[in-house]
């Protein structure tokens, strides 16, 4: 996939899309191949920080100790003190929390208690605070820059299927911003995937209420067409000497049998 292919696909998608009464998001759908999800070293569980907004506000919850609680209440969408963890032993409450927020920030010093309380629910949903994305922080951390960074961060994650689905922008953004976001996500995935580009089967772009468009489809079709023309067999010319010999042998044998019958 290259920038030109993304540009052509985005243009075609916009020409084909109906206007809606709300601002739609652009979804990037990446189908993978040759990855064994049963092998931990082949699973993809990383993030990519985009240069522009992803087109949707992320709801961020902070799970912190007393050191970060005042700041977390001011910066994040929700702050939960370690003292309130016991009530989330109720699995229904933990599930509701996991479904209500996109990303969780955690204070490093309370991670053992967090894992005990939320691990069984957050783990399968991929909602555990991710150290690689900077979501596990020390007690003296500055949360505001992290919050702003996470608003431009997307997850590149395989769960039960060989597919990654993420929001990559919105209709309100400039085309060049959406294209840059797509290329940034693609480059990050290539560097993360077990075999790089070889693990990418196909990439689609779509609007929230629109159909999917395969990125690079037109170019691939053109290449295939040219290849087919090259490989197309030429019309058969006159029979080869071998074919002539075989064709002439049959009537000759027939004449010999008729002559023997007359005798």
What pLDDT score was predicted for residue 249? Answer: 47
What pLDDT score was predicted for residue 138? Answer: 97
Considering the chain, what is the average pLDDT of its residues? 84
Nearest partner of 7 among 173, 180, 200, judged by Cα: 180
Q: How far apart are CA 156 and CA 164, in angstroms?
A: 6
Residue-wise pLDDT for 175-188, tens only, equals 999 999 999 999 99
Nearest partner of 182 among 170, 162, 168, judged by Cα: 168
Domain spans of the chain, in order of start: 1-56+152-217, 58-150
Q: How far apart are CA 217 and CA 170, in angstroms?
A: 22
Residue-wise pLDDT for 49-96, tens only, equals 999 999 889 999 999 999 999 999 999 999 999 999 999 999 999 999
Q: Which class does domain 1-56+152-217 fall in?
A: alpha beta
Residue-wise pLDDT for 185-228, tens only, equals 999 999 988 888 999 999 999 999 989 999 985 444 334 334 44
The full 3-state SS of 87-107, as one line of letters, equals HHHCHHHHHHHHHHCCEEEEE
41-55, 123-137, 246-260: which has the minimum mean pLDDT? Answer: 246-260
Question: Is the domain covering 58-150 a CATH 3.40.50.790 domain?
Answer: yes
Q: How far apart are CA 148 and CA 54, in angstroms?
A: 12
């Amino acid at each position: 996939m290259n920038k030109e292919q993304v540009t052509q696909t985005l243009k075609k998608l916009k020409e084909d899309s109906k206007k809606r009464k709300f601002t739609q998001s652009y979804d990037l759908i990446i189908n993978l191949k040759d990855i064994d999800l049963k092998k931990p070293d082949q699973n993809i569980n990383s993030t990519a920080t985009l240069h522009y907004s992803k087109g949707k506000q992320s709801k961020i919850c902070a799970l912190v100790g007393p050191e970060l609680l005042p700041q977390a209440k001011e910066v994040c969408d929700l702050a939960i003190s370690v003292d309130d963890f016991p009530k989330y032993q109720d699995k229904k409450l933990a599930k509701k929390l996991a479904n209500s927020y996109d990303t969780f920030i955690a204070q490093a010093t309370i991670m053992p208690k967090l894992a005990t309380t939320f691990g069984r629910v957050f783990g399968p949903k991929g909602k555990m605070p991710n150290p690689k994305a900077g979501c596990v922080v020390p007690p003296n951390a500055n949360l505001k820059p992290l919050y702003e960074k996470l608003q431009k961060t997307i997850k590149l994650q395989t769960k039960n299927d060989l597919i990654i689905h993420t929001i990559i922008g919105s209709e309100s953004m400039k085309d060049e911003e959406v294209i840059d976001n797509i290329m940034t996500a693609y480059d990050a995935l290539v560097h993360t995937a077990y075999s790089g580009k070889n693990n990418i089967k196909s990439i689609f772009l779509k609007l929230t209420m629109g159909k999917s468009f395969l990125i690079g489809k037109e170019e691939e079709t053109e290449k295939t067409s040219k290849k087919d023309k090259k490989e197309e067999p030429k019309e058969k010319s006159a029979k080869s000497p071998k074919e002539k010999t075989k064709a002439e042998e049959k009537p000759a044998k027939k004449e010999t049998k008729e002559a023997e019958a007359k005798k």
